[in-house]
Chains A and B, each alone.
Chain A
Amino acid sequence: MRAWWLLLAAVPLAAQDATQTPAAPETNAASPVTQAEKTITGSVDLGYRWFSGAGGSLDTYRSVVDIGSGVRLLGLDLSLESAAKKYFDRINVRGSGWGGDPYNTAHVDAVRHDWYNFSFDYRNIAYFNFMPSFADPTLGNGIFLNQQSFDTHRRMMDFELDLRPGKWIVPYLAYSHDSGFGTGISDFVSGLNSYPVEDKPRDATANYRGGVRVEMKKFHVMLEQGGTTFKDDQQVFTSTQNFGNNTTPILGQQMFLNDLTQAYGVRGDSIYSKVLLTANPTPWLDVFGEFLYSRPTTNVNYSQFNAGQFADLATLLFYTSELDLVSAAAKQPHTTGTIGFEIRPMKRLRVIESVMTDRLHNASSAAIHQQILPLVFDPSAFSTPGALPIFTDRLVMNYNREQVDALYDLTSRITLRGGYRYEWGDGLTDGMLISGLPTETGQLKRNVGLAGISYRALQKLSFSIDFEGASGDGAYFRTSLQNYEKARIQARYQVRQSLTLAAGFSVLSNQNPDPTVKYDFLSRDNSVSVMWNPNNGKWVTVTGEYTRATLRSDISYIVPQDFTSAQSFYRDNVHDASTLVDLLIPGFGAKGPKLGMGGSLLLSSGSRPTQYYQPIMRLTTPTYKRMNWYGEWRYYGFAEPFYLYEGFRAHLLTLGVRVGL
């Protein structure tokens, strides 16, 4: 926040500096950016928002919308042009949502031609999530279990500096920082019970990188070296008696938790390298390649102390306290490489060939020391007998892809495309010791045929069809793409200068016919849109979109408690429409007040029927030369017939002023 206000404070200073600088001699007489021109332009939106309060579930409102009352800097968009061009040519500053909105953003671009490009981006996004139905689908029956919920923020910053942009050799430096913090409710699991406990997640990742781009006429090379550091200091604690979700006594003993402290001390780092190459050694050949390598590692120190009454079901041991210390490490070298070319043997024909490989190997080990204090003191049980101090784990993923495409310009308006892709790979999970978890392997083999056609009948009419059909001999998971067909059709027609129509259709059908899987998936999306802005939107602008999306998924599984076969059905049939009409109110001239009306609605049926309405109305009234007053009303209405207790309704009214500079 302080940085933001400093930045704002600097804006007039920068403008003052520019205006006080004597006009530099004009170097380019043709340039329309004359010295007399304003050096600062843009607008600032300030306003006050009233939140009516949520009718229904405030928790759901906060999980979905989370906009509150108060003074807001709703938007800021400033551009500073330097007349002297001594330190910068132009600085753009943008921001939104300051003053308490759940997402605040700021962005600064500074450019000096031939010298540097600098950009800074800041985002602070609030994540509130407390959805009763998420953790506890049976809540509607009056059964209340604990939640996994959180009220956290993620704060992200990015700095990038390109030196001598546009030159043959461009060095650059960049730094990013991403952190998460807040509070939440988590679970502590012990035996057959789980206890809701307070959780303080706190993590941060920093990314440093630098490199150079060599941009020659016939080739380009980019070399980047970077590194990341990561820390996770999540803490979970409670000091009140907690009977957990399972209040049924076990062998006559009531389980409970009195005290808990869990402290995660996770530290990670990574180095990575990036080499990109493109070249066009001849007019008929383009070559490209990428080599990407990263080697992230993690080191873990975890401690846990819990006191209460617990049961170890494996040994039928009841105990009153437990101390766990874990020291672990993981390493994950990850290499990705791709190489390809586009060759144009004839004027109308292009052939694109590419090969890609992606290899990730995760190896880890953990030393776990567990000490428990039995309910009935038994020295032999004081240190858990049979405890396995060293765990190792492994995950291997090797993925490969080869693809060839041929594109042929049948006419100047029609392009045909055909191609073939072969994907193969393997995956392995290996909990080597221990727990009796066997090694699992997955294999991927997929042959994919590709086809497409693009048709531009006129400059104003375009049409394209894209198709993929695949036959797989293996897939990593039961729900993975195996035997599938995917198609997409898009059309766009500019009927006249002021009227544009667009339509899209896409379908994905995927099957895994194995009798133990019987996976059948089908999704379809159909969309149309219209945009009408006669006289360049001087009086009225209308935009509208409608989408009908359907999804059907069936897959078999075995019910764990009785080993009967069952089907998991999922259906989602959605009508989604959104529209916005901007209208200049008649009788006040071309600079009179404007009325905007519209919003969106979502009606879905199927496995989780949902209705979500978001109408909006906005009135903008010019007052002074560069000032507009505006008022905006929004309504949010949300309902789920299966989870009535999660519905909400809320009104938001905003009054504000936009000042142009």
Chain B
Amino acid sequence: MRPTDLILRAWPSPLASAPPPPPGTRPSWAGHPRALAIAAAMIFFTRLGIAQTPPSGNQPATYAGSEACQMCHEDIYKAFQKNPHIAVEKDKKRGFETRACESCHGPGSKHVESTSAADIRNPAKLPVAEADRGCLTCHLNQPTQVGRVQSGHARNQVSCVSCHSMHKSAEELVPRRRAAINAECSTCHLSVWASFQRPYKHKLPEGAMSCVDCHNPHGSVLPHSIRTVSANEPGCLNCHGDKRGPFVFEHAPLRLEGCATCHEPHGSANPRMLTRQEVRFVCLECHANTPVTAATSHTLGGVPPSFHDLRSPQFQNCTVCHMKVHGSNVSQELLR
């Protein structure tokens, strides 16, 4: 036994309660003893004093196979046959062939003997981070997970199983129908869903869109988990391609702070989902003509100043003339 083995045994990882690898699987650190020793040495000192003793006592449980689970959990077993995770049951490369149930629940021999819930690992009752580690054993390295640790869901301990029903069909595992997706999200985001009851909104209640058309619930480089398209463009441009540009004469807020500078994307009582009841207030709050002070000398929006007589009906709505407010290819004043 190598010293590094001793260190690792004294420090159970978050996956300590995860099932041991199947027989014959080579440990991941095998062949890299030096790197592992360095890493272990780095963490060893931080672990002093809090090292936990390994579970002791009984003989560890062993794998019983999925068919043993089927004996009692027939309904779950049947439903699971239509779940994409059935691939684990059949795929030799993943190391859980014929024991897909135990890939998440851990070795089940003791539970088979005793039928006691205490003898089986139940991810739903584990701390969120620990339960998620079970899923992330396979799914960490997935495209949708790249920014996962940055997402609000991950930070707020919203576990994978909060949205994904593991035992059910493919449709219930990952909702695909737009109405199902929206229902899933709105169970927590109550006030957001309420915004879609307003008269001017995106067509989510009608089933033409879903929350994941604009958001990536697993995380994104953009705030609010906004989905990106064409590498790093905000997801809004996926449908509003005419606003993509680049424009010869850009309107800075679009690029610097996005569509939500002027629009309420979920819904508004104001036409065109504007943040204000009339267009001129949306514009004037930035193009305010106020004198530049030390504090505002590094604020955009003073140029150009607004100079029209707002008492004239003609100038009550800026976008009647400044039509190309999202950016123009012809006019610096965004007139055409």
| Known A-B contacts A294-B231, A336-B232; A409 and B127 likewise in contact (beta carbons under 8 Å) | yes
Contact (Cβ within 8 A) A187 B320? yes
Contact (Cβ within 8 A) A478 B194? no
Q: Contact string, B254-295, partner A, CB cutoff 8 A, digits 1/0?
A: 011100010000000111100111110100111011111101
B295 CB, min distance to chain A CBs, angstroms: 4
Query: Roughly how many angstroms separate A414 CA and B177 CA in the complex, as a whole number?
Result: 34
Closest to A466 in B: B156
Q: Which residues of A contact B126 (CB under 8 A)?
A: 412
Contact (Cβ within 8 A) B78 A32? yes
Please tell me if B246 contacts chain A, counting CB pairs below 8 Å.
Answer: yes
**Overall SS of chain A's interface:** strand
Closest to A439 in B: B303
Enumerate 25 A-B pairs (CB-CB under 8 Å) in ascending A order.
A63-B271, A94-B176, A135-B317, A136-B316, A194-B314, A215-B142, A216-B141, A292-B232, A296-B244, A330-B246, A340-B149, A346-B46, A346-B47, A364-B250, A395-B250, A415-B128, A429-B252, A454-B128, A454-B156, A477-B253, A479-B286, A492-B187, A504-B189, A517-B288, A545-B194
Q: Which residues of B contact A (CB under 8 A)?
A: 11-16, 28-29, 36, 39, 43, 46-47, 50, 52, 66-67, 70, 77-78, 81-82, 87, 90-91, 93, 124-129, 140-143, 145-150, 152, 155-157, 176-178, 187-191, 193-195, 197-200, 203, 206-209, 221, 228-233, 238-242, 244-250, 252-253, 255-257, 261, 269-272, 275-279, 281, 284-286, 288-293, 295-296, 298-311, 313-314, 316-317, 319-321, 323, 329-330, 332, 335-336
Q: Which of A332, A345, A435 contacts B246 (CB 8 A)?
A: A332
List A residues 234-270 near B (Cβ within 8 Å): 245-246, 262, 264, 266, 268, 270
Query: Roughly how many angstroms separate A187 CA and B333 CA in the complex, as a whole number?
Result: 14
Q: Which residues of A contact B245 (CB under 8 A)?
A: 268, 296, 298, 330, 332, 362
Q: Which of A64, A215, A391 contacts B200 (CB 8 A)?
A: A64
Extra 13 A-B pairs, beta carbons < 8 Å, given A479-B261, A480-B257, A608-B269? A30-B70, A143-B313, A283-B13, A294-B231, A330-B247, A334-B231, A415-B127, A459-B124, A476-B300, A477-B261, A529-B190, A555-B288, A576-B197
Q: Which residues of A contact B239 (CB under 8 A)?
A: 125, 154, 156, 178
Q: Which residues of B contact A474 (CB under 8 A)?
A: 298-299
Contact (Cβ within 8 A) A395 B252? yes
Query: Roughly how many angstroms separate A346 CA and B16 CA in the complex, as a whole number?
Result: 12
Which of B39, B91, B190 gathers most chain A CB within 10 Å? B190
Closest to A640 in B: B269
Query: Roughly how many angstroms separate A222 CA and B300 CA in the complex, as a whole number?
Result: 37
B48 CB, min distance to chain A CBs, angstroms: 11
Q: Which of B198, B238, B255 contacts A360 (CB 8 A)?
A: B255
List A residues 460-505 near B (Cβ within 8 Å): 464, 466, 474-480, 490, 492, 502-504
Closest to A274 in B: B231
Q: Which of A201, A366, A503 contacts B242 (CB 8 A)?
A: A201
Q: Which residues of A contact B276 (CB under 8 A)?
A: 568, 570, 607
| Known A-B contacts A478-B285, A638-B199; A280 and B140 likewise in contact (beta carbons under 8 Å) | yes
User: Which of A376-384, A534-542, A559-567, A589-597 forms part of the interface with chain B?
Assistant: A559-567
| Known A-B contacts A136-B316, A220-B142; A490 and B188 likewise in contact (beta carbons under 8 Å) | yes
Please tell me if A11 contacts chain B, counting CB pairs below 8 Å.
Answer: no
Query: Roughly how many angstroms separate A464 CA and B178 CA in the complex, as a whole number?
Result: 27
